A and B are shown apart, each in its own frame.
Chain A
Amino acid sequence: MKELCFPFDSKSILRNKRELKRQLLSDGSSRIKKNIAVLGGSTADHIISMLRLFLLNSGIEPHFYKSEYNKFYEDAVFGSPELDSFSPDIIYIHTTSRNLTLIPDSPAMTEEEVHNRLNEQYGMFTQVWESLRKRFSCPIIQNNFELPLFRRTGSFDGWAVSGQAAFINRMNVLFSDYARQHQNFFINDINYLSSAIGLEKWHDTDAWYLYKYAMSTAVIPDLAYSIANIVKSIYGRNKKVIDLDLDNTLWGGVIGDDGVEGIEIGPETPVGQSHSEFQEFIRGYKDYGVLLAVCSKNDEENALLGLKHPDCTLRPEDFVSIKANWDSKDRNILESADELGLLPESFVFIDDNPAECAMVSGQIPQAAVIELSTVGEAMYALSRGGYFEVTSLSGDDLRRTEMYAANAKRAAQAKSFSSYKDYLLSLEMYAVITDFEPVHRQRITQLTNKSNQFNLTTKRFTENEIEEISESKGYIRLCGRLADKFGDNGIVSVVIGRCEGDTAHIDLWLMSCRVLKRDMELAMLDELVRQCRENGISRIVGYYYKTPKNSMVAGLYESFGFTKTSESENGDTVWTLGVEGYTAKNEVIKIQRR
């Protein structure tokens, strides 16, 4: 919904929130349901209603638990039966500088006194977090602290022993330290947010006294959007590709008219410098696993000429897809998506031309579109948009572009073989299929949350749930990694079989689309059957739960030789396979078991 995309009109969202909610709930889209507990140090009603809108707009249907006013500490530390039975998937702790009960209040305080207060205040929070972690193994999102608007002593307040701003800054450092040292704990950086928006706009003393709102109502949509970005990222809703125009976006000028010596990039001119900074900024995303692509109306020859300009930071090899032609841009984006095995909704498109932007948002409404009027604005929109909010960083993220480049080489090789099987054999593939090793659980969790297409049940798991499954008996767990002579694809397939008597129920079967048509699913099935036999299981039951995105696997179990046992009206199907008499199917991948 356009109204809820960054940059949004906060006033209008607040005023029309009921209508927006009604529209979202009746748009017929399927959403994952999540329980979110909001433990507030101030009133959180508006935050909840705004958060609901942003999450509904991102495929997540939240149900909320709300602590009584300023009972975050009691709810967390002493527990509450309501919270227990709510069984949260995510806990958001909405505290602000208003909750710093031990902030220094006298210039007479010594360094030691202030230090003790700092530790005691921080201790109250760690007690909250540790109690919650003990009772609920779910992600916790915690606000850090915003600076106050009022400073009795001016700049002195920021560095003096008894300074309040100084105290807040020190608390924020302690919070960040804790977040770095604890998994599944995330800081919602309201210190940044309130600065970006401006403390004058952020703070509203009347709202505190009237409603116990710790910030102005007007900035609550921004706050909720920031929380929503973290939640979206936890559930794998991030975008995956930045698709970039070239002329007047990656460089100044039009390469087709101005020639490679005429475009502005590099240190010589202000315009050239701005585009250099932009390229540098975009390149940085690559290191976090974001894929880069080009979508430009140009002759390909010219496009490549431009990208080989000595002052371009971004080189042709940095892009996983370069579409430089005269077709419409929406068509090019759809083609790139198809080639990469991604959905068009995982694209962020950046272009300086408003007409192209309007065209793409009209044709591909699920994609994010950034109209670049200045590179500064585009960088801000790209970062505040929260499309690439990081909540976990796996080794695979860091190597993603490499992996897609290897895929392009494979595609080139495929053309030289007469049979597909010969091609697959030529790849010299080998797979490592293991249990859920501790080092891989983060990646496994990530895959369960972001795989949509090759995913039979689309069941989402938190890291703690994966942890629990990994530690308990009664499961067959397969984690598959596929490599070949062009490179290592990393962990690409996950299967969870829940054993009951002589039957294994396939609760999860997913595979990354980057290894489609490589027979990896057959290798996984062979291993599953092997383990079933080892554990005295004679029957495998597979489930296909239909979603708008997973039609590619509707016939998977049938292709495996399963028999359909039931089909419901909504398209869900159940399948069984007898283990006896099964013969191994994979002929092209060497298997290494551990």
Chain B
Amino acid sequence: MNKNEITERLNRVFRDVFDDDSISVNENTTSADIEDWDSIEHINLIAAVENEFGIRFKMREVSGMKNVGEMIDIISERG
């Protein structure tokens, strides 16, 4: 799975989780860019991403991810 594919699938997850079809994520997207992305929604997002890609994030990753780019890196490493 290349990074473009991952980004595309991730984008669908983001749109579903935040119920917002105008979202378009890239490597630099952070929680500051999406209004509803707070700590509670982060939990839901993580679960949805894990289910989408059939992976499990490590605890340190869940709390340490700085932007979508890091998320994509982890997925491509593990997927």
Residues of A within 8 A of B (CB): 11, 14-19, 22, 45-46, 206, 209-211, 213, 217-218
Contact = CB atoms under 8 A, between A and B. Distances in A.
B62 A46 contact: no
Nearest to A19: B19
Summarize B's interface: helix, strand, loop or mixed.
helix
A213 B47 CA distance: 13
A46 B44 CA distance: 8
Interface in B28-75: 40, 43-44, 47-48, 51, 59, 62-63
Interface string B1-42: 000000000000100111100000000000000000000100
Given A14-B47, A17-B44, A210 B19 contact: no
A570 B5 CA distance: 52
B43 A15 contact: no
Given A209-B59, A217-B47, A15 B40 contact: no
Contacts of A211: 43
13 contacts: A14-B47, A15-B47, A15-B51, A16-B16, A17-B44, A22-B19, A45-B40, A46-B43, A46-B44, A210-B63, A213-B43, A217-B44, A218-B47
A18 B18 contact: yes
A15 B59 contact: no
Nearest to B52: A15
B11 to A, nearest CB: 13
Contacts of B17: 15, 18
Contacts of A45: 40, 43
Contact of B44 (A14, A22, A206, A209): A14
A18 B43 contact: no
B59 A18 contact: no
Given A14-B48, A15-B13, A210-B62, A217 B43 contact: yes
A15 B16 contact: yes
A218 B18 CA distance: 18
Contacts of B19: 16, 18-19, 22
Contacts of B59: 206, 209-210
Contact of B48 (A15, A19, A22, A206): A15
Contacts of B48: 11, 14-15
A218 B44 CA distance: 10
Interface of B: 13, 16-19, 40, 43-44, 47-48, 51, 59, 62-63
B27 to A, nearest CB: 22
Contacts of B47: 11, 14-15, 217-218
A524 to B, nearest CB: 49
A210 B40 CA distance: 11
A368 B13 CA distance: 30
A67 to B, nearest CB: 15
A428 to B, nearest CB: 62
A5 to B, nearest CB: 20
A206 B63 CA distance: 11
Nearest to B48: A15
A11 B47 CA distance: 8
Contacts of B16: 15-16, 19
Given A19-B19, A210-B59, A210-B63, A11 B51 contact: yes
A66 to B, nearest CB: 11
Top 10 closest pairs, chain A to chain B, by CB:
A18-B19, A15-B48, A19-B19, A217-B47, A45-B40, A11-B51, A15-B16, A16-B16, A211-B43, A206-B59
Contacts of B40: 45-46
A210 B61 CA distance: 11
Nearest to B44: A14
Nearest to B47: A217
A14 B59 CA distance: 20
Q: Which of A15, A210, A211 has the most CB of B within 10 A?
A: A15
Contacts of A18: 17-19
Contacts of A22: 19
Nearest to A17: B44
A14 B47 CA distance: 8
A22 B59 CA distance: 32
A217 B51 CA distance: 11
A283 B51 CA distance: 41
A206 B44 CA distance: 14
Contacts of B13: 15
Contacts of A213: 43
A78 B16 CA distance: 41
Contacts of A16: 16, 19
A433 to B, nearest CB: 53
A436 to B, nearest CB: 44
Given A210-B62, A211-B43, 6 more contacts: A14-B44, A18-B17, A45-B43, A206-B62, A210-B43, A217-B47
A491 B24 CA distance: 60
A11 B54 CA distance: 12
A206 B60 CA distance: 10
A320 to B, nearest CB: 44
A15 B47 CA distance: 8
Contacts of B43: 45-46, 210-211, 213, 217
A22 B40 CA distance: 18
A279 B44 CA distance: 42
